[in-house]
Amino acid sequence: MHVLSYLRTRKKLVIIITQLFFMKQLVFAIIGSLIVATSDAQIKTPAASTSQTVKQDFGLATVELSYARPNVKGRKIFGDIVPYDAVWRTGANSATVLNFGDDVIIGGTAVPAGKYGLLSIPGKKQWTLIISKQTDVTNPTAYDQSKDVVRIPVDVKKNSKVETFTIQFANVAASTMDLQILWDKSMVTLPISTEIDSKIMASIEKNLKTDKPQYFQAAMYYMESGKDLNQALEYFNKAVEQNPKAYWVQYNWATCLAKLGKTNEARAAAEKSKELAIEGKNNDYVRLNEKLLKSLGK
């Protein structure tokens, strides 16, 4: 009897434990369904001010810009939404940040490679643009002028209306470019430059001492940067020896010869380049050589 009673009790316990287990599983399933339902029920709308990250190759490195872009939306912007003569984060939401991959020069001041905040103080006719060590200023009260790296006045120019606040890099050259800020009918420009010549010359000197000297690249830099054309020609001569069937090398060799007034040699090099370009089925270089030959009197 005791054995039977024990077995019945044990059976009941097993049933109860099994029921509790399934109830637990059911509770978890219900909670999971509620979480999914709640997540699906959330309302998503576009950001009022969209974020943008811009990467620009510049000099021997890159510059990265991160900022948020509010819209005009029919409002009065400068002197109202953006007060005059007060520090502005130069965008919306988060701080506006510039990350220079190499040293640059702004307003005559050397700015080491690194991350900086871009702040401004808009005025009716002139803005003050600020490059700051602070990269988290979203409220004017957080601004600390002692952290300024560059503080430069720039004139405001009238511009065709720009609905969405825009910061862009323009007029990008080998060692200079402009950072332009445009919104509504106003534009301000911040010139930026970088020193690359000494770095490139050092790399050329080092490379030409290797067992695989890049004579063509050296020649092109000498010719395009306005350096000694005779030295450029010497490098072109060696580049042609390295790769006699490279029509692009032949074309630039011809261009260098033409610049030095060596017309007959330039014509011969251009003819050879054109012949090689035809073989290589590159019509662009065929046209370039025809144009060069025409300028040489053929």
Check residue 49 and give left, alpha or beta (phi > 0: left; psi -120 to 50: alpha).
Answer: beta
Last residue of a domain, one of 193, 212, 247: 193
Q: Are residues 215 and 162 in the same domain?
A: no
Q: What is the pLDDT of residue 42?
A: 85
Q: Are residues 55 and 185 in the same domain?
A: yes
**CA distances, 74 to each of 45, 80, 89, 151, 162 (Å):** 21, 12, 21, 31, 12
CATH of the domain at 202: 1.25.40.10
CB 187, CB 181: distance < 8 Å: yes
Record the tokens describing residue 192, joined without a space: 């930026």
82-108 pLDDT, tens digit per residue, is 999 999 999 999 999 999 999 999 999
Q: Are residues 183 and 88 in the same domain?
A: yes
- Predicted TM-score (pTM) of the model is 0.79
CB 123, CB 153: distance < 8 Å: no
Q: Are residues 111 and 186 in the same domain?
A: yes
What are the residues whose beta carbons fall under 8 Å from the beta carbon of 249, sequence distance 6 or more? Answer: 216, 236, 239, 240, 243
Q: Rounded to whole angstroms, how far apart are CA atoms 166 and 187?
A: 10
Q: Are residues 69 and 17 in the same domain?
A: no
Count of domains for the chain: 3
Q: Are residues 54 and 164 in the same domain?
A: yes
Closest CA to 100 of 34, 177, 154: 177
Q: What is the pLDDT of residue 21?
A: 57
Pairing of strands 126-132, 148-155: antiparallel
Q: Are residues 272 and 255 in the same domain?
A: yes
Q: What is the pLDDT of residue 292?
A: 97
Q: Are residues 70 and 180 in the same domain?
A: yes
Q: Are residues 57 and 153 in the same domain?
A: yes
The upper half-sphere exposure of residue 110, i.e. CA atoms within 13 Å in the direction of its Cβ, equals 4
Mean pLDDT by 10 residues, the chain (298 residues): 54 59 60 57 83 97 98 96 97 96 97 98 98 96 97 96 98 97 98 96 97 97 96 98 97 98 97 97 97 91
Q: Are residues 216 and 96 in the same domain?
A: no
Phi, psi dihedral angles at 232 (to 5 degrees): -60, -45
51-87 pLDDT, tens digit per residue, is 999 999 999 999 999 999 999 999 999 999 999 999 9
Q: What DSSP designation does 79 have? A: T
Q: Is 165 exposed, middle or buried (0-12, 13-18, 19+ CB in 10 A)?
A: buried
Q: What is the pLDDT of residue 40?
A: 58
Last residue of a domain, one of 193, 211, 231: 193
Q: Rounded to whole angstroms, how far apart are CA atoms 78 and 186?
A: 9
Q: What is the pLDDT of residue 43?
A: 82
Print the domain residue range for 38.
1-44
Q: Are residues 136 and 171 in the same domain?
A: yes
Q: Are residues 40 and 159 in the same domain?
A: no
What type of residue sits at position 279? E
CB 169, CB 63: distance < 8 Å: yes
Record the tokens describing residue 173, joined without a space: 């050259």
| Helix, strand, coil tally for the chain in percent (to 5) | 40, 30, 30
Last residue of a domain, one of 193, 223, 257: 193
Q: What is the pLDDT of residue 45?
A: 79
Q: What is the pLDDT of residue 47?
A: 82
